[in-house]
Structure 1
Amino acid sequence: MRYKRMWSRLSKYTKVARRWWLRRSPATRALPYYIWRAIANFSQNGTERAASLAYFSLLSVFPLTLLFAVIISSLLGPAVAQEQITSALDLFLPPDTISLLQTNVQDALQQGTSFGIAALGVLIWTGSTLFSNITRSLEAIFQVPVRRSMWR
């Protein structure tokens, strides 16, 4: 008898919850499915893609900084360039990292064009790899069929 009473209450609450759920908009009712699909898709290659994007994003920061340093020094002079870059990096990086980057930027400003060319080459490589990874990730997210490139 006790279980019947408990079952009838539970049945009543499930009916109320079901009616409430069915009155929601179709987008709201589809939300659990979308959450489930997001978790399932992320578990396939999500961690690797996120790590790859973070790695190449961080890897492209240093050559971009060197390239900006060389460009700014050719326009404004080495002292102004180093001061501007240091003040800009002060906002984002810890003091130990800033001192390391200051010495590297100072060396790059003394070398000038050769560091600029090297930084541009590394930046092109890391940037193209980063955008290639972004493209593949977005294609996987939106389930775009894979196309063959011209050279394959």
Structure 2
Amino acid sequence: MSPQAPVFDITGRADLDVVLRRFYTAAFADPRIGPFFTEIAGTDLDVHLPRITDFWERALFRSADYRRNAFAPHAALQSAREMTAEDFGRWVQLWRATIDGLHRGPNAERAKAQGERIALTLHKRLAGADPELLRGEGTVGFVPLAALELRSMTV
């Protein structure tokens, strides 16, 4: 068996590009959320990737100029087909698994936490839900991401 390559933290745009390519490859192929990208939005990864890399570079390092409305495309998707709490939960599962498979360190942890916050915020805005109801006992829908089954999922 060959030794595993060392895993480093996310350090900049080049690392984000690899993370995002791997994530979107998994997301496009996912039976639950893939259709949002492939059938409904018709996402062209070559067009989308530089924009989303700008978004994440700004979110993590404040080093990119991202001035787009990140909510608008999600609102358009929601109007075409409802994005459920389970859909957002699956997005986060894939996001976390992708990062965990490539990177370890404070920036990787921040990217995972930021992904969770973004998913919860988008879901709240799109569903018009009270944020406390989404995290409350006995609720159906968005599962708090500290749940073991979400953290143990792999891509």
TM-score by length of 2: 0.25
TM-score by length of 1: 0.25
